[in-house]
Amino acid sequence: MSPSPSEDDSDEEPSPRIPQQRIIESSEYPMRVLAGAGTGKTFTMVRKVEHLIDEHDVSPDRILALTFTNKAAASMREKLNEKLGAPGYDVNAYTYHSICHDILREYAYHAEIDPQFDVVNNADRTALIHEALDEITYRFTSPEVYGPDSHADGAAGSLLKFISTMKSKGISPSTIETFLGDADRLLELEALVDRIVDRANETVRVSWRAPSADRLEEMRDGLADLQQSIEDERTALGQTGVEQSVATFLCGMEETCTSLAELLETEEASIIDDEHKPAFRLPAYLFGTYASPPSGIPDSMSVTLTGKLRSFVEECQEAADLVAGYTAYEQRLHEASLVDFADLIGATLDLLEDPNIRAEIAGQYDYVFCDEFQDTDAVQFELVDQLADDDKLFVVGDDDQAIYEWRGAAVENIGHRLEERYETLIPETLEENFRSKQPILDVANNVIAQLEARGSEKELTAVGDAANASDGIATITAAEDDEEQAEQIATAIGRLLAGSLSDVDETYGAGDIALLVRKNRHAKPIVRALEERGIPYQLAGGLAADSVGVETVLAYLKALANPADEVSLNRVLTMRYRLHDVDLRLLNTASDSLSEALQSLPLDQFREPERVRRAREDFQALRAKREIYSVARLFRELKEQTNIDWYLSPQERRDLRTLESLIDSFGEGALQPALDESFLELLSLMESLDDSVAGVQDQAETVSDAVNIMTVHKSKGLEFPVVFLPNLSADQWEPSTRSYDTLGHTLEETAATPLDQDFEKRDEYEARRIFHVAMTRAEEQLVLVGRHADDGGVDDGDLSLSFIDSWLPEQIPWRATGASFPIWQEVTAGLPPTATDWTDEVAPIDGGVDPTISVNGESVPQSVARDRVLALARGLLNGDLDSVSPATAGFAVEALSTDGGPALSHRHSYTSLEKYSQCSRRHYLDYLVRAFEDPQRGDTGSNTVSIRDTGILFHDTAELAAKRSLTSPEKWNDVCDELGRQGSYSAGIVDQAKGCIDRYFSTEASSWEILSAERSFTLDIDGHTITGKIDAVYRNSAGNLVVLDYKATTMQRSLDDNLQLPIYLLACQQLFDERIDEAGYVYVGSVGPDMSTRTFSDDELAQCRQDLLTRLQAAEDSTFDDYTAGDHCQWCPHRSLSCSQTH
DNA sequence: TGTGTCGCCCTTTTT
DNA sequence: GGGCGACACA
């Protein structure tokens, strides 16, 4: 056990390490701690608060601790309480938003807002945005969008994004309006860009292909002309903000003209003699005269000066349109006494401008602690600054884990902004990582080492055993195709779970493994591959959003509640009943309503009447039950009646389980509502929460019994023994620019100009930090899956990007190299020598490629090795191992001889004897040799498996419930849920088991007393031993003992013609003192509910004992050679043997 | 060699 | 709707 002070809440708290201790005990403020991933930053912060209270007698209520999420605030309170007892709760642990909420409530009057204000919820905000949209007149941009169901909900989405970007930077509508000035000027600015391009066409665009000294001379003159024209444009510009910004742009262009002229002069020789020949096209390209990079200019260079300027102008134009919507939105919020999340902070800041109020509020706290400071935005920074009146400020965070810039967070807050605001700031760092092995940290350090403007040059180092570990990194070179990559990953995960990867000693459970994706869509093919292999997985909320199955079930419920809801009904008819198009049209065009048509149209009018009939009957039956059943019951009934599980994937069944738990929570007990209007309201409420059903459940983010799949962003703060990172290729990780950033940034700081930031570079940095966060989630094994981008787009004759860069003047902040993150190239270049390559091991065997594996030092193609193993297995089965030569087997075949070893031992049970009576070969294989089942995927068997699992789950439930003396169906259901979760049964199995419970409770047996459950016995019959388990022994209402066996199958069993019940009774005679002669079956499967028992006379039992003896003796003599072929062969797990071939 | 056109796909998310 | 890559043309 490593002394990990991080997340774990193990009983004994570890003691802080030296650097942590120094921070905890320090009395110096303001202090900033840059704490790397897994270095225990929250631990240190909590301990520091404790230290203040314990050692310095600071009153807990004088301490303010700010975090980002409610969850984090709650956990901090909890931890403090654990350590300090009740005073721990007196520490003011807030989120950045919740403290503002409280302040505004108290000072609403001063803040001039309605004291009854509410925080706007998603639904209301969407409504307000839509109203605000009406106020926008589109002069420059068009509101058209590509589809209402896509992520950014079109016009509303872009307005919302605009507003929240501006608000997070504290920029008001009027600031924007002032900056933009008259709309006509914006049109004029667009024309200005066109004029520059036109001018460039006249001055620097050339038609000749080969440069000469004269031509270059001519072009230098052209550049001078162009520069003059730009200068003229610049001096004609007005004084508004935009125009000044454009003026700065133009300055940069003029500089570029000078610089390019210089290039043509100094490099004249190399341009003429071919080395830098394409440089003569550079001016024309940079000033926008080419639609795409001409030959010689690398395709990857997408930066042109005019392009940059144009997009800035367009951004301003769009802003000019949207600002009206911003104003209207603010207006409506105010009228409705609503504030949004950004207002909470903004209004509080306004309030704090009053020195008296500020003194009052900030005076309540002596110390201010801030967590995750790298995620704060501009207004949150100001808030903290205002509250930390005495500069007793303690800030923790990690600039290397800043991955929320795109939503307004500013990394500079924890960097130079803090340093500038607090000149006496004490910088501290934590670099000891308690989570990962050193090689993992090395790679993680690598990607961020080259970031510029980091707060400090942190380098994570492992402690304890992890520091000396040399393993921990594996790579897989991903196939081009996403599906194939998914196969590779699924294979790797499967092998990991089976413990069969050659260089991994550890065995892992599914819950130990996380798959972290950059984008949601990366998960899709991988999910499919896992599903195919039956590897359990869990998608973190959001990823499961589009579960077709859940939607279909929801539609079914809606249609039942309200048959007039034809949209839902149509959906059900299509998705579940798969009605033919023609039949659907017939139903929809009937004179009656859709639901009436479904019930009344003569079946012979349909093309596929059978499907229509099924839909009709199901719907009718369920409609009738709707009146009498509770929603929860009806839901279960629905699933059973329509057999809808059959149409769902295992994952969709899992999704359905969350829906079920939601329905259960809707109303349990006597007052359970029926499916009615109020339920529909709930449904629409759920759907309006745009993150779908999956988002509603606030379960733990991770599960322990399935592979956790989530985006990197969601994984922040979590840790897993094994982490897979797929899609590591430049084209999947490449940064892309964010909108409104140039404008937002320009408006945010008065001194800033659109020219002083290279946003693409910033995006690249963020991509690196996201990768860093992803890798530092791994404790023991990090699996990197990626490949090189198809092609850099760099031709041999191209100018190099760095050559171009060297001729771009300083005033131009962006570089031709742009934002490129050749992620796989960097990964492969920076691998530790001990990193292993799993690519061959996870290659598909049938895929044409035949990787080699090492057998006794010899390299053998995998297919050959596989054949050898199979030959060996066949030899073993047939008893002719001699036919396998020791040389090819790799070891002496004699080693397998059983001579002198223990004889195959016979252990009998009721089932084994039954198998024997069916086929003695099968008995031999299953119970003596214990052969494994044929590996071929038996599609035929899938149904029986699920019934078998259902039976097992029901039996387990019954056993546990009996042992806990539980007697109500609700309690049994609880037990069933509990076991279902532990055993990673699919949702469908749990449902079916619950159906069994329902049926059990409608039998008489459920009212009897259970004396013993799952009682194991050993019965001796003349030297032969039979073992087994008795499901249950009851005392019936007459006071007699009865042996009962639960049957979850689809068939009844005869009471007379079998040995099972007599065996149990014989066993019970030894186990119980009382006489027991009655036994029978309780049918809880689909043939039930039913129960039948009978009594056995002593004579009958004695006869059975004789029969048993005969069979036992026969079974002991059974060999592989005897077999009975028959119908049973088609279900036999050994059906690839020749004995079954005749059938 | 440069441009036109068609088809394809469409981040990251908390308060 | 729009950006981008793949191909076809002048």
**Distance, Å, A381 CA → B1 C1':** 54
- Asked if strand B comes closer than 7 Å to A542 Cβ, the answer is yes
Which amino acid residue lies closest to nucleotide B11, measuring CA to C1'? A519
Task: Quote the number of domains for chain A.
Answer: 5
Q: What is the pLDDT of residue A384?
A: 94
Q: Judge if A861 and A1004 occupy the same domain.
A: no
Answer whether residue A150 is part of any domain: no
Q: Indicate the pLDDT class of residue A11, thresholds 50, 70 and 90.
A: very low
Residue A41 is assigned to a ligand binding site? yes
Nearest residue to A221 via CA among A202, A207, A234, A249: A202
Residue A363 pLDDT exceeds 60: yes
- Asked if strand B comes closer than 7 Å to A948 Cβ, the answer is no
Nearest residue to A179 via CA among A323, A349, A327: A323
Q: Judge if A424 and A572 occupy the same domain.
A: no
Predicted confidence (pLDDT) per residue in A981-1027, tens digit: 655 566 667 777 787 888 888 888 888 888 777 777 777 777 777 77
Q: What is the pLDDT of residue A754?
A: 54
Contacts 24+ apart (CB under 8 A), A912-916: A912/A1115, A913/A1026, A913/A1059, A913/A1108, A913/A1111, A913/A1112, A913/A1115, A914/A1059, A914/A1060, A916/A1111, A916/A1114, A916/A1115, A916/A1118
How far, in Å, CA of A517 to CA of A713, rounded? 9
- Average pLDDT on A887-895 reads 48
CATH number for the domain harbouring residue A808: 3.40.50
Answer whether residue A369 is part of any domain: yes
The DSSP string of A71-100 is HHHHHHHHHHHHHHSGGGGGSEEEEHHHHH
**Distance, Å, A68 CA → B15 C1':** 8
Residue A39 is assigned to a ligand binding site? yes
Which amino acid residue lies closest to nucleotide B14, measuring CA to C1'? A69
Instruction: Choose the weakest-confidence range: A220-224, A573-577, A922-926, A1092-1096.
Output: A922-926
Q: Judge if A376 and A510 occupy the same domain.
A: no
Answer whether residue A576 is part of any domain: yes
**Distance, Å, A203 CA → B6 C1':** 34
Residue A155 pLDDT exceeds 80: no
Chain A 129-148 contacts with nucleic strand B (CB below 7 A): 146-147
- Asked if strand B comes closer than 7 Å to A769 Cβ, the answer is no
How far, in Å, CA of A771 to CA of A723, rounded? 12
Q: Judge if A481 and A403 occupy the same domain.
A: no
Q: Judge if A110 and A47 occupy the same domain.
A: yes
Q: Judge if A573 and A520 occupy the same domain.
A: no
Q: Flag whether the ipTM exceeds 0.90.
A: no
- Asked if strand B comes closer than 7 Å to A968 Cβ, the answer is no
Q: Indicate the pLDDT class of residue A693, thresholds 50, 70 and 90.
A: very low
- Asked if strand B comes closer than 7 Å to A1143 Cβ, the answer is no
How far, in Å, CA of A209 to CA of A206, rounded? 8
Which nucleotide's C1' atom has the smallest distance to the CA of A141? C1
Predicted confidence (pLDDT) per residue in A233-282, tens digit: 999 998 888 898 899 889 989 999 999 999 888 888 888 887 788 888 88
Position of tokens 């639960």?
A1046
Answer whether residue A1073 is part of any domain: yes
Residue A466 is assigned to a ligand binding site? no
Nearest residue to A526 via CA among A498, A494, A474, A488: A488
Predicted confidence (pLDDT) per residue in A478-527, tens digit: 887 778 888 889 889 888 887 777 777 778 888 899 999 888 778 888 88
How far, in Å, CA of A346 to CA of A353, rounded? 11
What CA–CA distances, in Å, run from A597 to A80, A572, A591, A605?
65, 15, 8, 12
What CA–CA distances, in Å, run from A250 to A181, A256, A742, A770, A881?
19, 10, 16, 35, 86
Answer whether residue A194 is part of any domain: no
**Distance, Å, A587 CA → B5 C1':** 43
CB-to-strand C contacts below 7 angstroms: A 141-142, 144-147, 302, 790
Predicted confidence (pLDDT) per residue in A849-874, tens digit: 455 566 655 555 555 565 566 556 65
Position of tokens 């830098």?
A276
Instruction: Choose the weakest-confidence range: A76-80, A585-589, A918-922.
Output: A918-922
Q: Where are the alpha helices (DSSP H) in A363-481?
A: 378-387, 416-421, 438-449, 465-468
Q: What is the pLDDT of residue A426?
A: 93
Instruction: Choose the weakest-confidence range: A126-130, A934-938, A961-965.
Output: A934-938
- Asked if strand B comes closer than 7 Å to A520 Cβ, the answer is yes
Predicted confidence (pLDDT) per residue in A767-777, tens digit: 889 999 999 99
Residue A686 pLDDT exceeds 50: no
Domain final residue pick, A434, A451, A485: A434
Between residues A489 and A580, the one the model is more confident about: A489
- Asked if strand B comes closer than 7 Å to A151 Cβ, the answer is yes
Residue A657 pLDDT exceeds 80: no
Residue A346 is assigned to a ligand binding site? no
Residue A1059 pLDDT exceeds 80: no
Answer whether residue A646 is part of any domain: yes
Q: What is the pLDDT of residue A941?
A: 37
- Asked if strand B comes closer than 7 Å to A291 Cβ, the answer is yes
Q: Judge if A534 and A553 occupy the same domain.
A: no
Residue A228 pLDDT exceeds 90: yes
Predicted confidence (pLDDT) per residue in A448-477, tens digit: 887 776 767 788 999 888 888 888 899 998
Q: What is the pLDDT of residue A616?
A: 92
**Distance, Å, A145 CA → C2 C1':** 10
Q: What is the pLDDT of residue A1070?
A: 77
CATH number for the domain harbouring residue A987: 3.90.320.10
How far, in Å, CA of A564 to CA of A857, rounded? 73
Which nucleotide's C1' atom has the smallest distance to the CA of A737? B11
Between residues A1129 and A834, the one the model is more confident about: A834
Which amino acid residue lies closest to nucleotide B13, measuring CA to C1'? A407
Predicted confidence (pLDDT) per residue in A1124-1139, tens digit: 777 677 667 666 566 6
Determine the Cα angle at A397 with ends A724 and A769, to 5°.
40
Residue A215 pLDDT exceeds 80: yes
Burial class (CB in 10 A: 0-12, 13-18, 19+), A536: buried
Answer whether residue A225 is part of any domain: no
Which nucleotide's C1' atom has the smallest distance to the CA of A791? C5
Which amino acid residue lies closest to nucleotide B4, measuring CA to C1'? A291
Q: What is the pLDDT of residue A10?
A: 43
Percent of the residues in chain A that have a pLDDT greater than 70, as a whole number:
77
- Average pLDDT on A711-736 reads 83
Domain interval for residue A1027: 947-1116
Q: How many CB atoms are located within 10 Å of the residue A290 CB?
A: 14
Q: Indicate the pLDDT class of residue A358, thresholds 50, 70 and 90.
A: very high
Which nucleotide's C1' atom has the smallest distance to the CA of A292? B2
Q: What is the pLDDT of residue A880?
A: 58
- Average pLDDT on A1020-1040 reads 80
Q: Judge if A966 and A1089 occupy the same domain.
A: yes
Answer whether residue A183 is part of any domain: no
Q: What is the pLDDT of residue A3?
A: 37
Domain final residue pick, A864, A881, A896: A896
Residue A131 pLDDT exceeds 90: no
Which nucleotide's C1' atom has the smallest distance to the CA of A793? C5
Residue A38 is assigned to a ligand binding site? yes
E runs forming strands in A867-926:
908-909
Domain final residue pick, A419, A434, A449: A434
- Average pLDDT on A607-617 reads 89
CATH number for the domain harbouring residue A389: 3.40.50.300
Which amino acid residue lies closest to nucleotide C4, measuring CA to C1'? A292
**Distance, Å, A867 CA → C10 C1':** 60
Chain A 699-758 contacts with nucleic strand B (CB below 7 A): 711, 713-714, 736-738
pTM of the model: 0.65
Q: Judge if A658 and A569 occupy the same domain.
A: yes
Residue A151 pLDDT exceeds 90: no
Residue A666 pLDDT exceeds 80: no
Q: Indicate the pLDDT class of residue A1110, thresholds 50, 70 and 90.
A: confident
**Neighbouring residues of A315: CB distance < 8 A, sequence distance ≥ 6:** A739, A740, A742, A743
Q: What is the pLDDT of residue A902?
A: 34
Which nucleotide's C1' atom has the smallest distance to the CA of A735? B11
Q: Judge if A532 and A564 occupy the same domain.
A: no
- Average pLDDT on A771-798 reads 79
Chain A 1012-1071 contacts with nucleic strand B (CB below 7 A): none
Q: Judge if A971 and A1087 occupy the same domain.
A: yes
**Distance, Å, A294 CA → C9 C1':** 18
HEC string of A428-460?
EEECEECCCCHHHHHHHHHHHHCCCCCCCCCCC
Which nucleotide's C1' atom has the smallest distance to the CA of A145? C1
Which nucleotide's C1' atom has the smallest distance to the CA of A154? C1
Q: What is the pLDDT of residue A918?
A: 74
- Asked if strand B comes closer than 7 Å to A406 Cβ, the answer is yes
How far, in Å, CA of A861 to CA of A846, rounded? 12
**Distance, Å, A20 CA → C10 C1':** 71
Q: Judge if A479 and A430 occupy the same domain.
A: no
Bases of chain C within 7 A of a CB of the protein? 1-2, 4, 6
Q: What is the pLDDT of residue A903?
A: 39
**Distance, Å, A453 CA → B4 C1':** 44
